[in-house]
Amino acid sequence: MRVRSTPIHLIPWPDDALPAGWRTAMDRLGTYVIERVDPDGGVRDPCRSRVLESALALSLLRAFPDRTDRAERIAGYLQRRRVTADPLDRALIAASCGSPADSRSIDLDAYIVQAPDFTSRRKRATFEALLIACGADIDTRPAPDGTAYSNAGLHPWAEAQTTAVKVILAIASGTRHQIEDRDVNLLLSIQNRDEIWEGNLLVHLSALHALHRLGGHESLVHRGVDALLKHQRPDGGIPFFTDTDTWCTATAGVALLAAGAPDDVIQAIADNLVHRQKPNGGWSVTDIADVTDADDTSVILELLQTHDDPAHEKAIERGRQALLATRGPDGGFPTYIAGAPSEVCMTAAAINALSCRPPRDPAVLNGALDYLAAGQRKDGTFPPDWSASRLHSVFRAVLAASQFDAPHAHALRTRALDHVLRTQNPDGGWGQQPDSVSDPVSTAYAIIALCHQSDPQPVAVGIEFLMARQNSEGSIDSISDSIGPRPFVFRIPVLGDVFTLMAFGHLSHRVAPASAHSPSV
């Protein structure tokens, strides 16, 4: 995500090729993001309510008459969301609000294809269990071979979620004998604590539903409901995660660094992130979680190495080793743990982190590039990742491929950039998919990628699109693209500002040095 030096074959763009006032827009946005940095260097923006968790909470609260007022607030949130909800969310709302038959026609296949192929069997079981937990009237049966419930190669969040799914479906299908003691013990273990386990409210709710249906755990479930309701949002809904503060801080740091923010701001952010490092050397999406991931770890490594404070060297080395420890035999990198399937976007993220400095082992980067190139589709895009926008993987792959002078790196970058160029919308922006309306985050991703080609015109009209979406505070209004678990989207508003600022920052380094400008963000 960090800014690279412009390749020598690309002539810097003249400032007058871009819309007037673009630097002022960048400065206003930069000032807005700086104002979101707390004195300790953290960037915090609460995860907003989501239909999935809210529907699960409402259906669970039906069993707790003493929580009627809280249930009514959740129901109000869901009813307000019904009009704009997609078909899956509408099915969840209908089931939890007392119309279970309305969920029968949902086409789960349309959602399963939005997740990586290696998750498909588990995703189907998960969708069915969540719908049943919400009260949906659907037919289901546990997978006879148990593959949908296998915990092999799963990180702890997925292991707990899959176990809850197994219990819910076993009870719903009349096959309680499939539930093992270790399943129940795992679900009990993530409830016997003072806070939401790993900050993951979806897993928390799924475990509560499973334990409630099992029976005999009333006191524990009641305490779990009380813990859940501490995170009910002002609009009445329930979010996916308690917070994603580490991710917000990391991406904001990279964006502000690209946009020329004062060094003391970057120093505070970098120090904050070093203090968030986990015992294994990696980073998680939030302080509460212990599960580390390649995405947070890679982006934080990019920031720390680019900022280059000698005091952070130990943290950088620990982070590098944590990332390298997850590398797969195919040369790629998974999201969470060693042994899990590699993913294209996480491999691009790892390349971007491990190429900040001269590589100690070029074979690692070359193997990752080979995996990345092999994963590119004919249209220049990549398999689904952790974003609803196909341009998320595209821009990160372009940045990664730009580190190599190899034929397949050039081919990857050319195909990716061709896709971006031919899918620009008439309004100058880009949408999450080629047939989607333009949104600022997807447009920001596209602009970052297009800074690695020669024509400034597509970027100029893209910047005009972003400038038109900037409000009086300097902020950018955008839909969300963040996904978890795949393919459910959740919303952290500040990320729209962060990635738009990141695009402005990349652009500022692509313009000819003759257009002198002293950043004031």
Q: Which helix (H) or strand (E) holds 459?
A: helix 457-468
Residue of 35, 399, 404, 408 lying closest to 420 (CA atoms): 399
Place of tokens 């790196």: 409
Per the DSSP assignment, residues forming a β-bridge with 448 are none
Q: How many CB atoms lie within 10 A of CB 185?
A: 10
Q: Where are the beta strands (DSSP E) in 86-194?
A: none
Whether omega for the bond prior to residue 358 falls within 30 degrees of 0, making it cis, is no
Q: How far apart are CA 195 and CA 176, in angstroms?
A: 29
CA distance readout (Å), 323 to 161, 345, 357, 386, 483 = 24, 14, 15, 18, 22
Q: What does the DSSP 8-state code read for residue 478?
A: -
Of 400, 380, 399, residue with least CA distance to 390: 380
Give the residue numbers annotated as catalytic, written as ranges.
Answer: 295
Closest CA to 299 of 326, 323, 264: 323
Question: Which one-letter amino acid corresponds to residue 369?
Answer: L
d(CA 467, CA 461): 10
